A and B are shown apart, each in its own frame.
Chain A
Amino acid sequence: MNRQTLYLLSVLIVGLALTVLLAHQIDAHRPPPDPNAIDESLYLNPSTARRMSLGFNGLAADWYWMRSLQYVGRKIISVPEDMAIDDLSELNLKLLAPLLDTATTLDPHFLDPYEYAAVVLPAIDVQEAIRITSKGIEANPTAWRLYQHLGFIYWQQKNYQAASETYRRGAQMPGAPQWMEAMIAKMAADGGSRETAREIYLRMFEQSADEKVKDMARRRLIQLDSLDQRDGLRKLLVAYQTRTGQCPATWREVQHVLRAIGTPVDRSGSPLDPSGAPYQLRPGACDLDLAVNSEVLSK
């Protein structure tokens, strides 16, 4: 190896090492992104993006889909509190609807973005959620899952008649499961009940291929279990008050009743919520709260 080669090689290695160091320095001093900052709007509208894709529309749709996931993921990471993906209204996700709209315009048969729109968007922009999911039904009229998603949006909006009608249309599609049929009457007669909510989230948990949606449904089911549990515990506390004339000061005072009805308790005798955290007794109020470290969703 001659001198010049050695010289050039050392410049190459030192130069590369320097660029890595400098890049690291720049990253370390970059101000953190403001989660409330206004997002730059997309350059292309969905139909223009489709025209410009030159036959690569599937790949472009994948790109927009991954961007949607990264966009939501980044915003969730930027806030310290635990949030369910169906309640992200505080995150200022203004770009989500255009991103999902573009992904589904580029590839109208790509079903996952519709599901994501139906689950995440209602808390941000319900009209866009309905529009995108309806667009999915128009492009995939036999996909019964899209009717399930649209019914879910209407149910969240407490529009039980529209939800029932959407389930009815979905139940007529080939391959639609039997429970879609059962949801028609349930939604029309008892749309606001906890049982209907349980049925909706249970079906969502069973049917969804998306892990995030599955997780959201699982957490909502745990929340429903906890709500039932809390109703039962409140009744127990009120019964104690009726019997003794005062509210219990600690859970130990009602320990024998808790054991009798089979409620799981920890070592201190506090009843455990479905995530395994102890319920906090509100002294003197005959009421209880979720523990700070509980994984049960509070709203």
Chain B
Amino acid sequence: MAETVTRIDIAKRGGFWRLIAIARNTFREAVRDRVLYNLVIFVLLLTAAAIFIGELSGGQERKIIVDLGLSAMLLFGVFITIFVGVGLVYKEIERRTIYAIFSKPVGRGEFLVGKYLGLCLTLLVNVVVMGLGVSLALVYVSKGWDPLILTIWPAVLLIYMELMLITALALLFSSFSSPALSALLTFCVFVIGHFSADLKSLATSLGSTGARWMFGGLYYLLPNLANYSFITPAAHGRSPAPVFVFTTGLYALVYIAVILSAATLVFSRRNFK
């Protein structure tokens, strides 16, 4: 990574181009690390499901293809986010390439955001290819055009937004802790993020004011990832309303901005001299 970045004459470029250069190199590094090999497993999984699931599902193969495909997309995405995301900063520090990067006029924030965008690009390639795979599997089991092919894409977009949120969190944790701890913390937030409704109901049902405040605070502080779960309705041919997609997208954008700002704040205080 560092060699490539240093090869580019960063100093001559503007902030935006520096971001693009770091993002592009993060994407290349992910490709070099064979992160996209998960697509092979995904394709094998879907092919097997498309061929064999009909015999086990009592005529529900289309629903199961969508459920399986989109769930695998989310699961693989979360694994990539956690295991690649937490190493983004750590690897640069461990290899000491970070010193070479920061000897150039690259800001800490630019570095983090560039890294973030690079991993988001990797995830985008991943979800688009997986989405196409699910569409092809649907064509195969339906022996032609299937209306579900259109309804899965809003769900794919929501999955991508969720992955972007988790990537930002992984980056935040990795900016101040070890990869193992970052992975654990990110996974915990992923789990708790899907329990948001329970946090809210706990907050309203508890008697003590302190506990109510605590759970209410946690509900608003942690990302509500349940909003991005649209896999099951998509399997029934239902699409989210455009307003819902817009507001959840906006929520993700604001949350990511907050998380990346916090990560930059923490990372700026670290001494690399």
- Which residues of A pack against B, CB within 8 Å? 51, 54-59, 61-62, 65-66, 69-70, 107, 109-110, 112, 116, 209-212
Contact = CB atoms under 8 A, between A and B. Distances in A.
Nearest to B230: A55
B64 interface: yes
Contact of B194 (A54, A110, A112, A211): A54
B96 interface: no
Nearest to B57: A66
A65 B59 contact: no
Contacts of B67: 58-59, 61-62
A59 B229 contact: no
Contacts of B68: 59, 62
B163 to A, nearest CB: 12
| Among B57, B75, B232: residue with most chain A CB under 10 A | B232
14 contacts: A51-B195, A54-B194, A55-B194, A58-B63, A58-B66, A58-B67, A58-B231, A59-B68, A62-B57, A66-B57, A112-B58, A210-B59, A211-B58, A211-B59
| Among A61, A116, A212: residue with most chain B CB under 10 A | A61
B63 A56 contact: no
B191 interface: yes
Nearest to B58: A69
A51 B198 contact: yes
A55 B64 CA distance: 15
A192 B75 CA distance: 53
A115 to B, nearest CB: 10
Contacts of B59: 112, 209-211
Interface of B: 56-60, 63-64, 66-68, 70-71, 74-75, 190-191, 194-195, 198, 225-226, 228-229, 231-233, 235-236
A14 B214 CA distance: 60
Given A54-B191, A70-B56, A209-B59, 4 more contacts: A55-B228, A55-B229, A58-B235, A112-B58
Contacts of A211: 58-59
B232 A107 contact: yes
A-B interface, 9 closest residue pairs, ranked by CB to CB distance from nearest = A58-B232, A55-B229, A58-B67, A59-B71, A54-B194, A59-B67, A62-B64, A56-B71, A66-B56
B198 A55 contact: no
Contacts of A112: 58-60
Contact of B58 (A55, A59, A65, A109): A65
B248 to A, nearest CB: 13
A212 B56 CA distance: 12
Contacts of B226: 55
| Among A55, A57, A62: residue with most chain B CB under 10 A | A55
A209 B233 CA distance: 20
Nearest to B66: A58
A58 B67 CA distance: 6
Contacts of B57: 62, 65-66, 69
A116 B226 CA distance: 29
A109 B190 CA distance: 25
Given A59-B67, A62-B57, A109 B74 contact: no
Contacts of A210: 58-59
A59 B57 CA distance: 12
| Among B71, B191, B225, B233: residue with most chain A CB under 10 A | B71
